[in-house]
Amino acid sequence: MTSVLVTGASGFIGQRVVRAACAAGYRVFALARRPSPGVDIVCDLRGELRDLPRVDWFVHLAGAYAGASHEELEEVDFAGARNLLAWAEKSGVRNCVFASAAEVYGAVKGLATEDAATLPVIPYGWTKLRIEGLFAEFAAGVADSRVVVLRIGEVYGAQGRLILELSRRLQSGFCPWFGSGEIPLSFAHVDDVAQAFVHAIARATGGFGLERGR
């Protein structure tokens, strides 16, 4: 049975990924920073990682929210990804899926493809792009690895905070519809996003691959 470790498993998307992976027949280990129903492993990715199960895949969802400061993103997202990849390489875990974001594209006009230029305009986008670089380096340095990066757009669904988050951004002076107002936003239901992670595991080929969600 294929085994999968899911970080950020208590989060909005993480809970759905755990359910979808279980439904697909995978053996799933749910990891989160704090104890929560359905969480198997309580672990802070900001520190050295030990005693995690050796799995066939890991799905990395844990991280700060889009409006976090540069300092928080460095401390939580970048450091966490770096530590997780160090553990994976040391433990012989070669396959992974990383939840990046459409914010890596920045001020796009029209439809962004995987080959579109990346020029983020907020710290969240810059941090996601830097972490993508860590995963690309991992793929290049680990033989027979399969590494998939999913660039996800705005995710909605039950228990989601999308409307509240957009309102908070407007109140703070940040609006995703900046510039000409012609920048399209892609909205994806959380269950569809969860299925994208499961399909990425099932269909990934060798090396490093990008998939967009915008």
From CA 5, how far away is CA 28, in angstroms rounded? 6
> Reduced to 3 states, what is the DSSP secondary structure of residue 149?
strand
pLDDT at residue 110 tops 90: no
Interval 140-183: pLDDT, tens: 999 999 999 999 988 888 877 666 666 666 676 655 554 555 65
Cα–Cα distance list, 137 to 113, 131, 198 (Å): 22, 10, 23
One-letter amino acid identity for 18? V
Would you state the pLDDT for residue 162? 67
CATH at 85: 3.40.50.720
Token digits of residue 89: 């390489």
Arithmetic mean of pLDDT, 21-29: 98
86: Cβ contacts below 8 Å, ≥ 6 apart: 49
Higher pLDDT, residue 24 or 175: 24
Q: Which of 193, 195, 175, 194 is nearest to 185 (CA)?
A: 175
Would you state the pLDDT for residue 156? 87
| Residue 208 CB neighbour total at 10 angstroms | 16
Would you state the pLDDT for residue 204? 87
Considering Cα of 29, then 151, then 115, then 127, what sign does the dihedral take? negative
Domain hosting residue 178, numbered range: 3-213
pTM over the 0.85 mark: yes
Per DSSP (E only), the strands in 161-202 are 187-189
Arithmetic mean of pLDDT, 79-89: 97
Would you state the pLDDT for residue 210? 63
Would you state the pLDDT for residue 214? 40
pLDDT at residue 114 tops 50: yes
Q: How many domains would you assign to the chain?
A: 1
Would you state the pLDDT for residue 107? 75
Would you state the pLDDT for residue 143? 94
HSE at residue 95, side-chain half, CA atoms within 13 A, is: 19
Interval 39-57: pLDDT, tens: 999 999 999 898 999 999 9
Angle of CA points 4, 21, 128, to nearest 5°? 70
Mean pLDDT of the chain: 88
